Amino acid sequence: MNQLDEYLASNKQRYESELAELLRIPSVSADSTHRADVAKAAEWVADQFRRMKLEVEVVPTAGHPIVVAESPPVEGAPTVLVYGHYDVQPPDPLEKWISPPFEPTVRDGNIYARGATDDKGQMLTHVKSAEAWIETAGKLPLQLKFLIEGEEEVGSANLDKFIAANKQRLACDVVVISDTSQFAAGQPAITYGLRGIAYYELRLKGPDRDLHSGTFGGAVANPANALVTMLSALIDASGTVDLPGFYEDVEPLTAREREAFAKLPFDEKAFMEKIGVSDLYGEVGYSTLERRWGRPTYDICGLTSGYQGEGAKTVLPATATGKFSFRLVPEQDPKKITAALKARLTELCPPGIEMELAEFHGGRGIVVPLDSPYVAAAEQAIEDGFGTRPVFMREGGSIPIVSTFRELLGVDTLLLGWGLDDDNTHSPNEKLCLADFHRGIKSSAHLWQHLGELK
Amino acid sequence: MNQLDEYLASNKQRYESELAELLRIPSVSADSTHRADVAKAAEWVADQFRRMKLEVEVVPTAGHPIVVAESPPVEGAPTVLVYGHYDVQPPDPLEKWISPPFEPTVRDGNIYARGATDDKGQMLTHVKSAEAWIETAGKLPLQLKFLIEGEEEVGSANLDKFIAANKQRLACDVVVISDTSQFAAGQPAITYGLRGIAYYELRLKGPDRDLHSGTFGGAVANPANALVTMLSALIDASGTVDLPGFYEDVEPLTAREREAFAKLPFDEKAFMEKIGVSDLYGEVGYSTLERRWGRPTYDICGLTSGYQGEGAKTVLPATATGKFSFRLVPEQDPKKITAALKARLTELCPPGIEMELAEFHGGRGIVVPLDSPYVAAAEQAIEDGFGTRPVFMREGGSIPIVSTFRELLGVDTLLLGWGLDDDNTHSPNEKLCLADFHRGIKSSAHLWQHLGELK
C-alpha cells in the first residue's frame, strides 16, 4: 500500500486538473439545451475507463446515457458495484455564484463549481483509486463494476429498467456510493441506514362550488374542517403516530445504536440556528438524532383549500387537499400502512364529503447490519484515508437507488460520503473540499484492498 | 288606500319603463371606467326625489356619491330611513348573458339586467311607493329619509363615515331595506335576524425555509402539522365549537322560533341538490335551518402550506396559514371570543413554532324582536301587497350596514326582501320578477300607512 499511497500523493495535481476538466462540462440533465454536454460528460467518464483498459459501454437510453464499465473478476475476492452520476443540477440563480458555475475555481482549499460534491467530485474518487491500483499494481485486488448514470438529478427514469434488465451483468456482493456527507468537517461517517417513505394526497370534496360561509355555514360538512380533523387525528400530542398497527413492525433502535448516536458530536444549538427554529420537537422519549434517523414520522407536506389571497373571504370551500408522508423505518411495510390509513380516514370522513386517497411512491426503510464485514472494511479504509475512525450514522431521507439495489440485486450499499453538509448541494457556490477529495481517493483505494481480502 | 292601490295598478307600465331606464345605466362601482355612469345613476335617483319635491342632496365622497333625501316630518308619526344602493356588480362573464346586461329585457315575466334585483329594482319599490303617496294624498303619512349609496358592491368604504358624521340628519325610528330574498317563490318573508362574524388568520412559522422532510422530519415541529392540530382542536366530532366560554352568551332559539322554522317549506333534498352534496352535517340537536340561522358555527375558509403543485414533494413547510371564521349569534361578543381564541391557540402551539393571529372584521349577530310593532306593521303590509302572510326567517350571513345602523343610529332594521334566491345576484342573467316588483311597491306603500299609524 505504500507504493499506492505515494502514487496518490504525487498525482494530486493531476487529479485536481481532471476534476476541473469534468466540472467544466455543463452536464445539466434537466435542461434539453445541454443534451450534448450531458453526452460529452458521459464520454469523458467512459474515456477514463477506456484508458484503464476496463470493459466499457456507453448505454443509450430514452434520456441520457448510462456509463457501464467493469474490471476482470478476481478469483476469491468479492465484486463491488460503484454507483455514481455525472449529471448535475441546473446552476440557477446564476447571479448568486461568486465564480461562474462551470469555471471551477479554487478558494480556501475548496473547489467551487456545479457538481463539485454532487456527484462529479465524489464519484471521481473511486475512478481515480481504481486507476491508481492499475497504474501501480497492474490490476485491481477485486472486481469493480461501475454504473455511472446521467439522470440522477431528474429522477433516474431509465436506470431502474436498465438494472432490472441487466441483473447478471451488474451482479455484485456489495454496492459503494459516495454521494452523501461526512457527519461534520473532520469527522467522516458511514451511513448505514435510510428511512423509507409512504406519500399520500388526501382530496376531500364537499359542495360542488365554494359556498358563502354565512348563508351555508352550519348546513354542510366543510371540507377544510374535515381535512384538519382527519389529518390531525393521525398524530397525538406526544408526537406519536395514531394509526392502528403503525408501530407493529418497527425495529427498535438497538442499545448500541442509541449509545453511538448519543456520543456523536451533535450540537443541538447549532442545528437549531442552522434551520432557524427556537426549539426542537418530536416523538417523546427519543433524542433528535434518533427521531430523524431511526423513528418513523408523519409530516404534512402541503395544504390547499379555499381562499388563499390577502385578507378575508367568507367562503366555505368546495374542496380541501393535503399532501403528507410517513417516513418509515425497517421493517414497516408501506402497503400495510396504506391499508390501515385508508380504513382510518374512511372512518373519520364526515357525511357529505367525498374522499379520495392518492398514493404516491412508497419504499421501505433500509439498514445495513453494522456487523457486516463490508462495513468493517469501509471503517478501516476511511480511517486509512482520513486519519480518523468514521462514525456510524443513519439518514432520515430515502435514497431510492439503494432500495433498488436491495430489491433487484439483493445487495446492501455502503454510503461513504466525502462531502460536507455546507457544500451547497443544489444551490449556488457548490463546493468540495480538495483535501477531502484526496482523502476520499485514498480511502477508496484502501477500500478495494480491504474488501479484496474478504472472500 | 283604495285610491292608492288603483294609482299603483294604473302606473305599472310607467314603473317598468323607469326601472328599465335606471337599469340601462352601467353603474359598475368597481370599474373606474364607469365612474361617469355611476354618477349618472346617482343623478337619476336624485331626480326621482326632486320630482317628488323632497329635500335632496347628492353628497360627494372620496368614492361614489351618496344620495340623501327626506320628506317633511309628520307630527305623531315615526320617521323611517330607507337604505338602498344604485351601484351594481361588474357584469362579467359577458358571454354568459342571454341578453346584454345593460339592455333590460323581459322574458317570462322577469326583467333581466345587471342590478335588476340587486338593488335597483328592490330599492326603486320604496321610491315609487313614496311617489304614489305624494301623487294621490299630496303627502306621506310619515317622514321618510332615503339613504341610497353607490359603493355597496365595493365595501361601502365611505358610508360609515357619512353616517357617523350625520347622526342627527339620519335619525329615525326604524330602517327599511329591500336587498334580500323571499323565502321561496310566492312566499314572502321578513328577515329578522342576522349572524355576526369573527374572522381570523392563523399564521404559523417554523424553520426559516422549507426543509427536506426526510432529513429533518421528526426533528422539529412541522407548521402544517401544528396548523391542523390547532384548527381541529376548535371543534369536536358533534360539530360543537370547543372554545372556553364560546356558548356562554348564546341566546337560545326560542320555542316559537323553532316551531316556526320547522313549519317552513324547506326541502332538504332540493337544498342538497342545489349545492351538490350527498348529505347535510352540523351541530347535533339542531335542524338545518336552525344551524344556518340561529346557531354559531366554525368554518375554515382557507388553508395554505408547503407544496401545492401536482404530485409529491417531500417538504417540511416553513409556514402554514389558515383563515377561518366563527359565525356569531346574539349575544356573543367577538372581542370576548378573540381573547378566548388567542389563549387557546397559544396553549396549543407546539415548541419551535411562532404563532400570529390576525383579526379581521368582527361583528355581533342581530335579532329584531318579533313582537316589535314595526315587525307587525311590515307583516300586514306584505300581506296587503303579496296576498300572503310573510314568514319570519333569519339569515346566516352578516349585513354590515344593519350593524352600523344599530351601532350608530341605535335602531333596528326591517329586511323586506322582494327577490328570489335564483335571481342570479352577482352572476350572469340577473333578474327580478316583475310581478314581485309591483307587489313590492304595493307592500311598501302600505308599509308607510301601517308604520304611520304607530306613534
B342-359 CB burial, b ≥16 within 10 A, e <16? eebbeebbbebbebeeee
Would you state the cell numbers that stand for residue A139, as one nine-digit string? 490490476
List of chain A residues whose C-beta atoms are within 8 Å of the C-beta of residue B393: none
- B210 within 8 A of B319, measured Cβ to Cβ: no
What residues in B contact A422, CB-CB < 8 Å?
none
Q: At what angle do helices A12-23 and A2-10 cross, to 10 degrees?
A: 60
Residue A208 to residue A201: CA distance in whole angstroms: 20
Q: How many CB atoms lie within 10 A of CB A25?
A: 23
Q: Cα-flanking dihedrals φ and ψ of residue B144, to 5°?
A: -110, 135
Q: Which domains does chain B have, with CATH numbers?
A: 2-194+366-452 (3.40.630.10), 196-250+296-363 (3.30.70.360)
Backbone angles phi, psi at B8, to 5 degrees: -60, -45
pLDDT of A86? 98
Give CA torsion, residues A168, A170, A175, A178, to 10 deg.
Answer: -170
- Chain A positions touching B322 (Cβ under 8 A) are 228
- Is the distance from CB of A288 to CB of A281 less than 8 angstroms? no
**Which residues, given as ranges, of chain B have pLDDT below 50?**
none
How far apart are the C-alpha atoms of B214 and B195, rounded to whole Å? Answer: 46
Q: Which of B70, B71, B177 lies closest to B122 in space, CA to CA? A: B177
In B, residues 210-249, which contact A (CB 8 Å cutoff)? 211-222, 224-225, 227-229, 231-233, 235, 237
The neighbouring-strand residues paired with A358 are A201
Question: Does the distance separating the beta carbons of A271 and B299 come in below 8 Å?
Answer: no
Q: How far is A339 from chain B (nearest CA, A)?
A: 19
- Residue matched to cell numbers 474518487: A125
Contact with chain B for residue A207, Cβ under 8 A: yes
Q: Which residues of B265-285 are buried (b: 16+ CB within 10 A; e: fewer)?
A: ebeeeebbeebebeebbbbee
**A434, A442 Cβ separation under 8 angstroms:** no
pLDDT averaged over chain A? 96
Q: Give the distance from residue B176's alpha carbon to the nearest chain A alpha carbon, in angstroms.
A: 21
Reported residue count of chain B is 455
Residues composing chain A:
455
Contacts of A314 in chain B (CB under 8 A): 197, 199, 301, 325, 397
Strand order in the sheet with B297-306: A354-363, A196-205, A319-328, A297-306, B297-306, B319-328, B196-205, B354-363
* Residues in chain A where the model's pLDDT stays below 50: none
Out of A201, A218, A317, closest to residue B282 by CB: A218
pLDDT of the residue at A155? 85
pLDDT of residue B76: 95
Cβ–Cβ contact A199 with B under 8 A = yes
The position carrying cell 437549531 is A272
As for the ipTM of the complex, it is: 0.88
Dihedral sign for Cα atoms in the order A310, A315, A319, A322: positive
- What DSSP string runs through A190-253? EEEEE-EEEEEEEEEE-SSS-EEHHHHBTTB--HHHHHHHHHHTTB-TTS-B-STTTTTTPPPP
B70, B149, B151, B152: the active-site residue: B152
d(CA B410, CA A109) in angstroms, rounded, equals: 78
Q: Name residue A393's amino acid.
A: M
Cα–Cα distance, B39 to A83 (Å, whole number): 75
Predicted confidence (pLDDT) per residue in B336-355, tens digit = 999 999 999 999 999 999 99
Cell numbers found for residue B21: 331606464
Cβ distance A218 to B396 less than 8 Å, yes or no, reads yes
